[in-house]
Amino acid sequence: MKLTTLLTTAALTFAATGAWAESEINVMHATAFETAPTAMAGGGFLHIHNTGDSDDVLVDVRADYPRVEIHTTEFTDGVAKMMHVAGIPVPAGEMVVLEPGGYHVMFMGLQGTPFTLGDMIPATLVFEQAGEIDIMFKVIARDAAHGGMDHDSMDHDAMDHDDANHSDMNH
Amino acid sequence: MKAVIIGTTTLAIAAGLGFYTWNTSRSAVPCGDTAVAGAAIGGPFELVSETGATVTDTDVITKPTLVYFGYTFCPDVCPLDSARNAAAAYLLADQGHDIGTIFISIDPERDTAQIVGDYTDNFHEDMIGLTGTAAQVDAASKAYRTYYRKQEGDPEYYLVDHSTQTYLMFPETGFATFFKREHTPEQIAQTTACFIDRIG
Ligand SMILES: [Cu+2]
């Protein structure tokens, strides 16, 4: 079951983290690009804003796929190396951006369940301090006309067309 | 300002010997900022097309063509670079220049002809996806002096390190220049148009 109502998500989130969480995590622009029908993997991207006064770390992402990991890509002399990372630090007061060419949520084992334009992919972010936060990745088009390299326009796209923003979570 | 290209297929050798560097302030630079004169990049290859047919370089490079090596399991960098190359092709089409785009898988174990075909359709309706046997892919990668290495670990969800240059190739004259990840669609379109004007 891939679709969960935002209402349910918010309720679960509230219940899951409660009042003891000290960091305040806001998640925005959770998006994933549509994939080919036979794609084996997909990438998820988001902005994480820690508005609290204690540091936090994103330590895991869970979703209904055979394997989901936090990855980063490093470049050395033009060679891209994608790798699994144990966590992404989200210092107090800072915004961390998972965007193409860097940190991403790697959804693996998609075979037969591609990311289709408009889909909402439920996932749970696990933070060291804030605990579990349920979010939805909205599947957006990879618009070649805008180019692949322009991070700014990509962010605007995500912002302008992204209904998933309504699910911004505040703890 | 230095540009670097990987010239071997093993990391150890690449680290020690295989980097070809040159100074872009040389006067021989004809178009753009990454050209290298007389580099032996490209040449004959035999791969498998999206339909499963065996094809050679002369079958698929029939016009100025951007050639990229990657793998479809990569959801981040490869789509970004492929979308960028597609965007450059669309820009050039708007200017009346017909160019091709090719994506060559360096993960033939997982990337079947159908998978690379579906993948490339995502970026440009005319992008050609190629895969092949391990030997065919390795030979093509060596010809283009690209680097790739499968990471140890999971048999199903393994990752592959790989070069991210995009090569501009011409049917008759072969290699013209290459582009790095940092190049924008506009820069690629401009440099490519310059080469088209010079080479024809
Ligand atoms: Cu990844």
Q: What is the pLDDT of residues A46-60, one digit of tens each?
A: 999 999 999 999 999
Stretch 58-97 of chain B: residues touching chain A, C-beta under 8 Å: 72-77, 79-84, 86-87, 90
Contact B184 A150 (CB under 8 A): yes
What contacts A158, CB < 8 A, 6 or more positions away? A29, A31, A45, A140
Neighbours of A99 (CB within 10 A): 19
The percentage of chain A sitting over the pLDDT mark of 70, rounded to a whole number, equals: 70
Residue B33 confidence class, pLDDT cut points 50, 70, 90: low
CATH code of residue A40? 2.60.40.1890
Average pLDDT of the residues in A123-128: 98
Contact A142 B83 (CB under 8 A): yes
CA atoms within 13 A on the CB side of A12: 15
Q: Which two tokens stand for residue B165?
A: 């240059």
pLDDT of the residue at B29: 54
User: Exposed, middle or buried, B22 (CB in 10 Å: 0-12/13-18/19+)?
Assistant: middle
Domain region containing A59: 2-141
If you measure from the C-alpha of residue A74 to the centroid of ligand 1, how many angstroms do you get, rounded to a whole number? 11
What residues does B168 pair with on adjacent strands? B66, B177
Average pLDDT of the residues in B175-194: 95
b/e burial code for range B23-49 (CB count within 10 A of at least 16 → b): eeeeeebebbebbbeebebbeebbbbb
A159 lies within 8 A of chain B by CB: no
Domains parsed from chain B with CATH numbers = 7-19+35-199 (3.40.30.10)
Global pTM exceeds 0.90: no
Domain count, chain A: 1
Instruction: Specify if A88 maps to a domain.
Output: yes
Q: Is B176 a residue whose pLDDT tops 70?
A: yes
Distances (CA, A) of B66 to A14, A82, A127, B83, B166: 50, 23, 42, 12, 6
pLDDT digit string, tens, across residues B144-160: 999 999 999 889 999 99
Contact A40 B115 (CB under 8 A): yes
Q: How far apart are CA A88 and CA A99, in angstroms?
A: 13
pLDDT of the residue at A154: 39
Residue A77 confidence class, pLDDT cut points 50, 70, 90: very high
pLDDT of the residue at B196: 94
Distances (CA, A) of B112 to B49, B81, B94: 10, 20, 32
pLDDT of the residue at B31: 80
Residue B5 confidence class, pLDDT cut points 50, 70, 90: very low
Q: Is A1 a residue whose pLDDT tops 50?
A: no
Distances (CA, A) of B22 to A78, A86, B33, B116, B170: 15, 38, 11, 34, 22
Instruction: Specify if A169 maps to a domain.
Output: no
